[in-house]
């Protein structure tokens, strides 16, 4: 089982645990990587764990208003540190701040859990 102590001892650059009182919900702050369009911007994530974790990925959502404007999506894998690092990497590769073309429709129809979204890739 992944514990918050592991993340606090050796966090990826730009990752800070803000709240992790139990293994049900953690709040994590990410800082945009140097040299990117998100440099020094702060983003907040909420990790929601089920009793099946780590066999089942946690729900991971950005907390308003700390959401990057970014045209891509992702899915959580493995440890909290790896998810945070993947998100920092994802937003670091972006060269233009823009929402996905169907963002408004997704928000209207989306479940509270991103894991319940049926993604279709072309």
Domain with residues 4-116, CATH architecture: Roll (3.10)
Q: How far apart are CA 91 and CA 62, in angstroms?
A: 13
pLDDT band, very low/low/confident/very high, at 59 (cuts 50, 70, 90): confident
Q: Exposed/middle/buried for 27, CB within 10 Å: 0-12, 13-18, 19+?
A: middle
CA R_g for the chain? 14
Q: What is the mean pLDDT of the chain?
A: 83
Structure confidence at residue 100 (pLDDT): 80
Flag whether pLDDT at 10 surpasses 90.
no
């Amino acid at each position: 089982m992944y514990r918050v102590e592991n993340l606090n001892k050796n966090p990826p650059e730009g990752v800070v645990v803000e709240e992790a009182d139990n293994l049900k919900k953690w709040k994590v702050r990410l800082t945009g990587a140097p040299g990117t369009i998100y440099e020094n911007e702060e983003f907040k994530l909420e990790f929601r764990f089920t009793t099946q974790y780590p066999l089942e990925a946690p729900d991971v959502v950005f907390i308003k208003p700390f959401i990057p404007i970014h045209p891509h999506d992702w899915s959580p894998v493995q440890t909290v540190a790896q998810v945070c690092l993947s998100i920092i990497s994802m937003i670091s590769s972006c060269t233009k701040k823009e929402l996905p073309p169907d963002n408004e429709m997704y928000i209207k129809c989306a479940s509270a859990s991103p894991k319940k979204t049926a993604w279709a890739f072309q």
